[in-house]
Amino acid sequence: MAPMTTPENRHPAHDDLRERWVRTLLTVRRPEADLPSGTPSPYAYADDLLARWAEPHRRYHTTDHLIAVLDRVGLLSSHCEGPEAVAAVTLAAWFHDAVLLPDRSTNEDRSARLAERALPEAGVSPQLTAEVARLVRLTATHDPAPGDTGGEVLCDADLAVLAGTPQEYAAYAAAVREEYAFVPDDAFRAGRADVLRRLLDLPALFRTPYGRDHWEHVARRNMATELELLLS
């Protein structure tokens, strides 16, 4: 059960995000007349998700990260194959870090299973629910297959943080370290270096034309610098 959103953890964009969620959900869910009696309000799902994103143990995977990914999905949406594909990627962005237990390696699968439970109840078709869950699970590797345009958009939107300015990247790296504060320094450095090497070994970090043109070079430079600092 996610905690309730309180005045202390309520994000300034909370109300706007609720409306963004509802607009997306209403584009793909079954007509009101076809929904079972007692179907929860679309806002109930927004409130649950926003409470999850506001959990106090989060430092990087926060509501600000959700907003950034949603905004980048919008930026890259022309790469998707039609409005329903854009809606699937947008819903996947909402769910992709909805479950975050920093001491577990199953967060992507748990987040996908949350989508698989919530979306059918909210009136989303089995086919679209399956696509959203697939996209969420893809963020475990950030390695979509060629031609998987939805996966390319979601993964690029999630990884775009790597292409920030040096100051932005340093703040991102510090927030990740704080989120894993329970991990001893040596173990964290080794694990983080493995993550960076895995990403740097990908033939391309970004698969959309915009991502390749605007983010690839800067992201690789930032990660190479972080890796060098971790190993020094």
pLDDT digits (tens, 9 = 90+) for 27-63: 999 888 788 888 999 999 999 999 999 999 999 999 9
3-state secondary structure of 140: coil
Counting beta carbons within 10 angstroms of the beta carbon of residue 113, is it exposed (0 to 12), middle (13 to 18) or buried (19 or more)?
middle
Q: Contact, 158 vs 96, CB < 8 A?
A: yes
Give the pLDDT band (50/70/90) at residue 23.
very high
Q: Is residue 25 part of a domain?
A: yes
Answer yes or no: is 219 within a domain: yes
Residue 3 lies in a domain: no
CB 9 within 8 A of CB 54: yes
Residue 220 has pLDDT above 60, yes or no: yes
Distance CA 66, CA 206 (A): 19
The per-residue pLDDT for range 68-98, each reduced to its tens digit, is 999 999 999 999 999 999 999 999 999 999 9
CB 179 within 8 A of CB 61: yes
Whether 9 is in a domain gets the answer: no
Domain CATH for 85: 1.10.1300.10
The residue type of 20 is R
Residue 2 has pLDDT above 60, yes or no: no
Which of 201, 119, 58 has its CA nearest to residue 135?
A: 119
Asked whether residue 217 is assigned to any structural domain, the reply reads: yes
% of the chain with per-residue pLDDT over 90: 89
The tokens describing 112, both together, are 């996908």
Q: Which residue range is the domain that position 159 belongs to?
A: 14-231
Task: Please report whether residue 43 resides in a domain.
Answer: yes
Enumerate the H helices of 78-232 as residue ranges: 83-95, 107-122, 126-138, 149-159, 166-179, 185-201, 209-214, 216-231
Number of domains in the chain: 1
Does some domain include residue 5? no
